[in-house]
Chain A
Amino acid sequence: MSGGPTRRGLFAGVGVLGAATAVGACAPRAAPAARAAVVPFHAANQAGIGTPAQDRLAFAAYDLTVDGSTKDRRAALIDLLRTWTSAAAAMTAGRPVPGDSNLGAAPPADTGEAVGLKPADLTITIGFGTSLFDDRFGLGDRRPAALADLPKLPGENLDPDRSHGDLAVQACSDDPVVAFHVIRNLARLGRGTVVMRWSQLGFGKASSNGADQQTPRNLFGFKDGTRNIHGEDTATMNRWVWVGGETDQPWMRGGSYMVTRRIAMHIEAWDRDFLTDQQNVFGRYKYSGAPLSGHKEFDKPDFAATGSGGPAIPADSHVRLAAPENNGGTHILRRAYNYTDGVVASSGELDAGLFFICYQQDPRKQFVPLQRKLGASDAMNEYIQHVSSGLFACPPGVRPGEYWGQPLFA
């Protein structure tokens, strides 16, 4: 693929210039040096977890439909993972799906919508759902203890048709077409072996450029992820995100557990809430992102600080309930995206919210206790509802020649 500027790149440049002009105070800067924007596919850990979050998400859960003996089914699953892995490696590098796309008498191997687009930091991350470890593939004794079904959590109202799945693929890129292209082509490559169970598109950050990077805002208009784990913080990643020697299933070492929650926001109600209350719900100032005990976004929240008539950061605020210091130090790596899917047919209100994705070493000790607490006490619950759920074991990264999850079948 040529390195010249694409049409998309030119438009992006106009956007940057426009923003600078609008802000006024910012001096126009030279455009950042063009970079390949390719995240390596082959690595010790899967990309898309610790690597910087891109702007766009295309997420899909798939169910296997293969029949036959356990051996047949297992062979079909391995065949699929091999096919998917080679396609994922190609797409991540900006190449089309392997196969002939120029044969006049045959449908092209690649669907084509990403032709001419750069990968824009595309990452493709696979996860294995709890149902993959039932009796269909003979994998029952390979199910990690940490992949325990999530318990019923307070306040959730889950749609089974939009939850769970045998396999999950998280495709992230700064280009929405590139991300969508992944889940579409993997579904096509798996036709006859898998069906897409549900999917979710997400949009998130205004920018993912390093020095420019700001904490993005969710659809409530608040900064989201101020105290998130940074992928380059190896010690924290090893302690809280990557599976290590503690696992009962060695095939998961170097992997991580992904929890997904579609969190519907009652946008209309939220938008009618007065600013002080919105800030009390979060425990942060809306515009600066500073904790209500401080002045700047990255000030450490002071949960002992008092304001007029009580704690500066309210007892039921989101930031207090979720903070590591109030949860035995527990961290999770969040990788959420905003979503909107039109309007709710029955109400005419916006169907929008947060597609929450988090990664961790052991959901039983991280997501579950955190959400149990938040679901029961968070002031934000007046404005949100968890409507879908997924739990997936993401295997370690692959080396050239290997396929996704190969140690699981060893």
Chain B
Amino acid sequence: MRDTATRRARRRTPRAFAAPAALAVIGLLAAGCGGAGGASGGGSNKVAIKLTADGCTPSPAKIGAGPVTFTITNSGATKVSEAELQQKGVIVGEKENLTPGLSGTFSLNLKAGAYEVYCPNAKTERTAFTVTGAAAKSSQSPKVQAALNKAVNDYHAYVTGQVDVLIPATKTFTDAVRAGDMAAAKNAFAKARAPYERIEPVAESFGDLDPRIDARVNDVTDPKKWTGFHRIEKALWKDKSLKGMKPVADQLDGDVKKLKALTDKARFQPAQLANGATELLNEVASSKITGEEDRYSHTDLSDFEANLSGGRKAFELLEPALKQLDPKLASDVSGAYGTVSDALKAHRGDYANSGYVDYSTVKDAQRRALTQKVDALAEPLSKVAAKVSG
């Protein structure tokens, strides 16, 4: 039984990898801009979904590939308030919190394939939805396309490589937890988390898996159901007892193994790499620099480094194509990555085998300086996706 509330609370950022079939969510805001026109306009297919107690039937149930705008309306279903578009169990797009009387839209650029519209708590929760044909041809030059193809393939290799590191590193950690060896577990904590944090936006796209692995205490509605790294972190550093942690450790091993199968078959698009890199920086700014992520262990800086390097990897893979598309943007982002990396290096240390100092010793003025450099990087980085999505 999935815990919808948990999953929702966890979802703070637009998820670049939520949509393997989508280039990017388009026109969500433009729709509210009163005659702003633009991307969401002409040529877009329209699909209506009515939320009822019986289900959520899309109309039409079959459309051609390309830009699609879904309009979801709830005129009176009290138990059903959400519609998701899924492909092979992965959320591609969604609209939630539509209580009776509300409606909402989301827009996607869909590739051909079999999808499902999913509305939890309806009598029929899943309805088939089909996209036919092929999307419009890319406007990019063959040279740029080749560079982008290489980028997405190499990124796939990077992600699966990180999962290959994650599984044994997690096992070192969980073995220590099961053995009741607090010191060894503390030493293995930061090292186990790093590969996960490098690919976090990808992991977040697999439904419940991210909250099971990485939820913080404020992400869960029922603390008894709280699992993953941070649950054990609290046991180690705050409760100072590993009592009851064996099942949590076992589940964590199982969950990271599930990532393996999911990432093996995942396929990425260039804009997802760019948006994922921006999301990683948003993660840094919203939870690492605040000290919220590792509030018991204070190993936030190693997660910071992992977020940074995971995003930088994605950017560097896109860089050859971006240099052809917008050389100034490519050099701005590259320079800003260097500035953030240098700033982070100043905090290197050997606290808790994390490679960095205890984050609780980093003063507010230093945290502020880090945030400003991250913001200075994220702003130009946020412009990359549109450039590479052609």
- Encode A320-334 as 1/0 by CB contact (under 8 A) with B: 000000000000000
The answer to whether A104 and B372 have CB atoms under 8 Å apart is no
Report the minimal beta-carbon distance from B341 to chain A, rounded to whole angstroms: 15
A195 interface residue (CB < 8 Å to B): yes
B264-284 contacts to A, CB under 8 A, are 271
CA distance A188 to B37 in the complex (A): 24
A101 interface residue (CB < 8 Å to B): yes
Give the nearest-CB partner of A195 in chain B.
B372
The answer to whether B376 and A105 have CB atoms under 8 Å apart is no
Residues of B within 8 A of A106 (CB): 382-383, 385-386
The answer to whether A108 and B29 have CB atoms under 8 Å apart is yes
Residues of A within 8 A of B379 (CB): 188, 191-192
Q: Which of B20-28, B116-124, B149-157, B200-208 contacts A (4 or more CB under 8 A)?
A: B20-28
Report the minimal beta-carbon distance from A163 to chain B, rounded to whole angstroms: 15
Report the minimal beta-carbon distance from A199 to chain B, rounded to whole angstroms: 14
CA distance A104 to B382 in the complex (A): 12
Residues of A within 8 A of B56 (CB): none
The answer to whether A101 and B385 have CB atoms under 8 Å apart is no
Across the A-B interface, the 7 shortest Cβ-Cβ residue pairs = A104-B26, A102-B38, A106-B386, A191-B379, A192-B376, A105-B386, A104-B39
Residues of A within 8 A of B386 (CB): 103, 105-106
Residues of A within 8 A of B107 (CB): 104
Secondary structure type dominating chain A contacts: loop
Contact of A104 among B25, B33, B377 (CB under 8 A): B25
Residues of B within 8 A of A309 (CB): none
Give the nearest-CB partner of A67 in chain B.
B339
Residues of A within 8 A of B40 (CB): 102, 104
A107 interface residue (CB < 8 Å to B): yes
The answer to whether B385 and A105 have CB atoms under 8 Å apart is yes
- Encode B188-211 as 1/0 by CB contact (under 8 A) with A: 000000000000000000000000
A112 interface residue (CB < 8 Å to B): yes
**Interface size classification for chain B:** 20 to 34
Contact of B30 among A102, A191, A192 (CB under 8 A): A102
A92-106 contacts to B, CB under 8 A, are 100-106
A65-81 contacts to B, CB under 8 A, are 65
Residues of B within 8 A of A104 (CB): 24-27, 30, 39-40, 107
**Interface size classification for chain A:** 10 to 19
Residues of A within 8 A of B29 (CB): 108, 112
**Could you list some 13 contacts between A and B, CB below 8 A?**
A101-B30, A102-B33, A102-B37, A103-B39, A103-B386, A104-B27, A104-B107, A105-B24, A106-B386, A116-B34, A191-B376, A191-B380, A192-B332
The answer to whether A112 and B33 have CB atoms under 8 Å apart is yes
A44 interface residue (CB < 8 Å to B): no
Residues of A within 8 A of B250 (CB): none
Report the minimal beta-carbon distance from B387 to chain A, rounded to whole angstroms: 8
A19 interface residue (CB < 8 Å to B): no
B32-59 contacts to A, CB under 8 A, are 33-34, 36-40
A115 interface residue (CB < 8 Å to B): yes
CA distance A378 to B64 in the complex (A): 77
CA distance A86 to B75 in the complex (A): 46
Residues of B within 8 A of A115 (CB): 33-34
The answer to whether A102 and B376 have CB atoms under 8 Å apart is no
Report the minimal beta-carbon distance from B101 to chain A, rounded to whole angstroms: 20
The answer to whether A105 and B38 have CB atoms under 8 Å apart is no
CA distance A402 to B36 in the complex (A): 29
The answer to whether A105 and B36 have CB atoms under 8 Å apart is no
With contacts A192-B336, A192-B376 taken as known, whether A107 is within 8 angstroms of B383 at the C-beta atoms is: yes
CA distance A112 to B29 in the complex (A): 9
CA distance A107 to B278 in the complex (A): 11
Residues of A within 8 A of B380 (CB): 191-192
The answer to whether A101 and B33 have CB atoms under 8 Å apart is yes
User: Which one of B23, B39, B336 has the greatest number of beta carbons of chain A within 10 Å?
Assistant: B39
Report the minimal beta-carbon distance from A241 to chain B, rounded to whole angstroms: 35
B172 interface residue (CB < 8 Å to A): no
Report the minimal beta-carbon distance from A74 to chain B, rounded to whole angstroms: 18
B375 interface residue (CB < 8 Å to A): yes
